[in-house]
């Protein structure tokens, strides 16, 4: 419940502090006194965007602070979800700076407006004539039925499954779209892949083939050069090997004469061994060289294929061609596996659909079971509010489509008169009748769920006499389980309150200000008497006021 409200530098309010109690609180005041200003302050507390024009003094900041006792609201989970610091006595503060910037705090921690709005919806329900329009929406009507049917758990499970179900459908549609595009590209990708596969690509083979091609293409010249080298090495008179052998003999003799020639002998011997090995390699190369026109043609053909592929795919190496081939293989594989993926997604959708159908039937049956009770209670309450012939015809049709709250299509029909035709609320009920219907619904809801503090903003407009007295009784009954605040012009309702506040204007130093004061018993008599008879209070008005209060 809202325990206190502090306002500084807002609209016509310089500084105001009001402490509220549980039960039924009444706020009265002349038209234009500033009751709407109080609601404007509360709307800021509930997360409405701030307006710089709201500042009374544009050079100072506006501060609005509300204290709530939330120990009975089970809000710890919400505080945790929104990263608020939880306190049983929670303080919400809004500040509007002269610069136009606005700040919001929950228990002195800064918060954003969207999170504050989520919390605000759980703390205060401001109900005005304008908000009776939501009564005509299916969304609100479902909320009422589901609250009475205790469908919260089933709806939460249903909405969770529905989210997954919709995501699966999106994924399936994406697969269908991918398949449609893939089919167009599949044949071309397959052609490119086969072309690369047929090339039998091997990492680094381009350089090896180019070297082999140069050898095969110049084989006669290479043979001549190797033959000349062979002769230089192996000529009996002037060959390198013959000379080294003779040199070895010379130093072998010298090494036997003195150890200082031993090292020279070893070097000559090592050179001879190396040169002999070199000679054998030249011999083998020379023997292995044969003109092979067929191999030259094969190598030339393979090089042409590789160079053509490099140019076609604008890459510079066989390695890049291999990477491209692997990418094409993956694309082809994806395309060929799409049917399998699509079937898996269809199976998952079918499974979720079965779960959703089961949950929606459970929700539907619980709604059907509670509708007669809701109808009876509404008609009973409305009878006391001057609508004895009010009748409701609430129907549910289970559809095949999945809506956000089940598969039900709701018809919430109303007739105000005997023998009258049933029609939609917005067509069948007047503004005054909608106000009474909404009050009846709020009254019923208060017995099923823990409603937040509710503020009735002149919901009784256009009502008078005994009906207003009954409306006051309903608000009084509601106040036994929740905090109720009623802004009213009707003395019959004002007299029902446990506490009574008056909003008034006064001029201070030629500046108009709005103030609010809590009335004692005698002041309440005067206020109610003025509500009954105007500024000039008659004896009969005073007597009537005392009678109402008693």
Position 117 scores a pLDDT of: 92
Q: What is the pLDDT of residue 321?
A: 86
Q: What's the rounded Cα separation, in Å, for the pair 35 and 515?
A: 10
pLDDT level of residue 394 (50, 70, 90 thresholds): very high
Range in 269-278, 459-468, 491-500 with the lowest mean pLDDT: 459-468
Q: Are 90 and 453 in contact (CB under 8 A)?
A: no
CA angle (192, 194, 200) in 5-degree steps: 115
> According to the model, what pLDDT value does residue 261 have?
82
Given pLDDT bands bounded at 50, 70 and 90, which one contains residue 260?
confident
Whether the CB-CB separation of 41 and 27 falls below 8 Å is answered with no
Q: If pLDDT is split at 50, 70 and 90, which confidence band does 51 have?
A: confident
For residue 296, is pLDDT > 80? no
pLDDT confidence bin for 420, thresholds 50/70/90: confident
pLDDT > 70: percent of the chain: 90
Measure CA 243 to chain center: 91
Considering the entire predicted model, what is its pTM?
0.66
Query: Given pLDDT bands bounded at 50, 70 and 90, which one contains residue 241?
Result: confident
pLDDT at 340 over 80: yes
pLDDT at site 276: 81
* First-last CA distance in the chain: 27
Mean pLDDT throughout 384-389?
A: 90
Higher pLDDT, 165 or 232: 165
Average pLDDT over residues 231-258: 75
How confident is the model over 431-455, as a mean pLDDT? 85
> Per-residue pLDDT tens for 141-175?
999 999 999 999 999 999 999 999 999 999 999 98
Whether 207 shows a pLDDT value over 80: the answer reads: no
The region of weakest confidence among 6-15, 124-133, 508-517 is 124-133
Rounded to an integer, what distance in angstroms lies between the CA atom of residue 75 and that of residue 1? 13
Average pLDDT value over all residues in the chain? 86
Q: Which residue has the higher pLDDT, 297 or 506?
A: 506
- Looking at residue 203, its pLDDT comes to 78
If you write DSSP's letter for every residue of 325-389 in order, what string do you get? Answer: HHHHHHHHHHHHHHHHHHHHHHHHHHHHHHHHHHHHHHHHHHHHHHHHHHHHHHHHHHHHTT-TT
* 127/67: higher pLDDT: 67
Q: How many residues does the chain have?
A: 550
* Cα-Cα-Cα-Cα dihedral sign, residues 72, 73, 76, 79: negative
Please, what is the Cα angle at 206 between 204 and 209, to 5 degrees?
115
CA atoms of 100 and 51, how far apart (whole Å): 7
pLDDT higher than 80, residue 337: no
Neighbours of 184 (CB within 10 A): 10
Percent of the chain with pLDDT over 90: 42
For 342-375, the pLDDT digits (tens) are: 999 999 999 999 999 999 999 999 999 999 999 9
User: Tens digits of per-residue pLDDT, 96-123?
Assistant: 998 888 999 999 999 999 999 999 988 9
Q: With contact defined as beta carbons under 8 Å apart, do 269 and 277 qualify?
A: no
Q: Beta partners for 414?
A: 392, 423
120: β partners? none
pLDDT of residue 410: 94
Residue 61 has pLDDT above 80, yes or no: yes
């Amino acid at each position: 419940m809202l325990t206190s409200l502090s306002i500084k530098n807002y609209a016509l309010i310089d500084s105001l502090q009001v402490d509220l109690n549980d039960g039924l609180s009444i706020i009265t005041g002349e038209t234009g006194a500033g009751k709407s200003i109080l609601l404007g302050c509360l709307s800021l507390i509930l997360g409405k965007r701030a307006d710089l024009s709201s500042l009374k003094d544009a050079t100072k900041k506006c501060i609005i602070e509300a204290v709530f006792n939330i120990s009975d609201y089970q809000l710890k989970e919400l505080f945790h979800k929104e990263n608020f610091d939880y306190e049983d006595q929670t303080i919400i503060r809004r500040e509007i700076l002269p610069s136009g910037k606005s700040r919001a705090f929950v228990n002195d921690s800064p918060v954003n407006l969207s999170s504050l709005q989520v919390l605000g919806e759980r703390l205060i329900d401001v109900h005005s004539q304008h908000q009776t329009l939501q009564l005509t929406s299916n969304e609100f009507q479902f909320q009422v039925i589901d609250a009475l049917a205790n469908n919260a758990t089933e709806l939460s499970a249903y909405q969770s499954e529905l989210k997954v179900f919709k995501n699966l459908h999106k994924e399936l549609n994406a697969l269908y779209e991918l398949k449609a595009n893939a089919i167009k590209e599949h044949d071309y990708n397959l052609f490119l892949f086969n072309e690369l596969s047929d090339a039998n690509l091997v990492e680094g083979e381009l350089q090896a083939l180019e070297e082999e091609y140069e050898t095969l293409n110049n084989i006669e010249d290479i043979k001549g050069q190797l033959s000349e080298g062979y002769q230089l090495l192996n000529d009996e008179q002037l060959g390198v090997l013959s000379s080294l052998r003779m040199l070895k003999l010379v130093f072998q003799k010298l090494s036997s004469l003195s150890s200082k020639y031993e090292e020279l002998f070893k070097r000559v011997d090592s050179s001879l061994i190396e040169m002999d090995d070199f000679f054998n390699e030249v011999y083998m190369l020379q023997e292995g060289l044969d003109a092979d026109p067929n191999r030259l043609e094969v190598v030339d053909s393979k090089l042409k294929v590789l160079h053509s592929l490099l140019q076609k795919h604008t890459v510079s190496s066989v390695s890049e061609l291999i990477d491209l081939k692997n990418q094409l293989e993956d694309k082809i594989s994806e395309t060929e596996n799409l049917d399998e993926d699509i079937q898996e997604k269809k199976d998952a959708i079918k499974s979720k659909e079965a779960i959703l159908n089961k949950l929606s039937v459970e929700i539907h049956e619980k709604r059907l079971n509670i509708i007669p009770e809701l109808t009876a209670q509404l008609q009973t309450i409305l009878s006391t509010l001057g609508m004895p012939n009010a009748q409701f015809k609430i129907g549910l049709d289970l559809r095949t489509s999945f809506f956000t709250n089940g598969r039900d299509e709701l018809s919430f029909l109303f007739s105000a008169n005997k023998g009258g035709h049933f029609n939609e609320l917005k067509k069948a009920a007047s503004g005054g009748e909608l106000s009474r219907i909404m009050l009846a619904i709020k009254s019923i809801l208060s017995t099923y769920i823990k409603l937040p503090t509710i503020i009735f903003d002149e919901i009784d407009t256009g009502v008078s006499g005994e009906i207003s007295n009954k409306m006051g009784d309903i608000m009084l009954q509601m106040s036994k389980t929740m905090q109720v605040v009623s802004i009213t012009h009707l003395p019959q309702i004002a007299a029902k309150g446990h506490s009574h506040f008056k909003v008034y204007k006064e001029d201070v130093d030629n500046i108009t200000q709005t103030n609010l004061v809590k009335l004692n018993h005698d002041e309440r008599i005067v206020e109610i008497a003025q509500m009954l008879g105007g500024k000039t209070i008659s004896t009969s008005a005073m007597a009537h006021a005392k009678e109402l209060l008693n």
